[in-house]
Amino acid sequence: MLLRALRRRWRSYRYRFVPWLALNLRRQRRTLRYVPESSQDKVIADEDVFETLLKTFKALFINDFSRQADILALLPEVKCRYLELLTVEQKRLKVNSCNHQGQHMFSPEEVLFNTLGFAVSRDRSSLVSGGTGVFVTKGFVPKGTVVSMYPGTVYRKHEPIFFQSLGNPFIFRCIDGVLIDGNDKGLSRSVYRSCSRRDQLGPFQMSDESWLTATLQNPLAVGQYVNNCSHEKTANVCYQEFDVPGHFPVELKQYLPNIVYSHDIESHLRCVVLVTLRDIKQGEELFSNYYTVVS
């Protein structure tokens, strides 16, 4: 039993173990995504990623409009714009409501489907030892679409992550050495919540904490549970790094499932999205590569 548990732990950890990567690089060639240069690590343009997140977050904001009063009171011009968008959305969905207090509320998954034409969620993986996986539960996802996000605390190279990394299979390494801890339990969970609440400005939340729970506010924030591909289950999505621009709407930052560890660093927030490599149908599980080789 102990040997079996150690074997399972090794399967989840080995993709982040440098000696194993070096020894198996040639043998595992089919499961690797090669990127000649960092600048070429883009399946789709950053502008497309930005527009997808903006479109989705606006839809989530409008769906939850009645709870945004404190934010909108400080942003009168933004409030007028969203009231117009809300009216258009109500007409599109044929929701007859005279005021936003009585507006029909959709679940975040329904909002995602109504906005992008698909929904994703966590469920038991189709892999025997895969644990939790991520599936397209509704709709159709075209090739080149942002299908999920990798949530977590963002660490620069020099920042302490040793204790958080112990026994943690959810640490994602970016090309430039930036790390994202996507673990929703233990010390990692506490660190994320602490940083998130540290950065809150009055009613403005700078990040989303709901991915730490079973009730997601941003239904895309499930990327840390996407399983690694194999020869039987080829990759249908890949990771793409995205720096959130400074002009990202402040009222929509409440849906960003990432937060920086150090408060005093002035730089763009690093996010990682998962982009589809082919068309994906309803019922399919998402599979990616746990590592990228940059030559």
Q: Which two tokens stand for residue 293?
A: 């080789």
Res 24 pLDDT > 80: no
Task: Say whether pTM exceeds 0.85.
Answer: no
Q: Name the nearest CA neighbour of 200 among 154, 267, 259.
A: 259
Average pLDDT rounded to a whole number, residues 260-285 = 91
pLDDT score, position 291: 58
Res 20 pLDDT > 50: no
Please name the helix (run of DSSP H) or strand (run of DSSP E) that holds residue 166, with its range, or none: none
Contact by Cβ (8 Å): 153, 192: yes
CA distance 54 to 61: 10
Give me the helices (H) in the chain, please.
2-13, 18-24, 46-63, 69-73, 76-92, 108-116, 162-165, 186-198
Question: What does the pLDDT look like over 144-179, one tens digit per residue?
Answer: 999 999 999 999 988 999 999 998 999 999 988 899
Q: Where in the chain are the domains?
A: 50-288
Average pLDDT rounded to a whole number, residues 4-30 = 52
pLDDT score, position 4: 72
CA distance 168 to 84: 45
Question: What does the pLDDT look like over 214-233, one tens digit per residue?
Answer: 999 999 999 999 999 888 88
Domain 50-288: assigned CATH number = 2.170.270.10
CA distance 133 to 124: 6
Please name the helix (run of DSSP H) or strand (run of DSSP E) that holds residue 137, with its range, or none: strand 132-139
Starting at the edge strand found earlier in the chain, the sheet holding 269-276 runs: 146-150, 269-276, 237-244
- The confidence band for 64, taking pLDDT boundaries of 50, 70 and 90, is very high
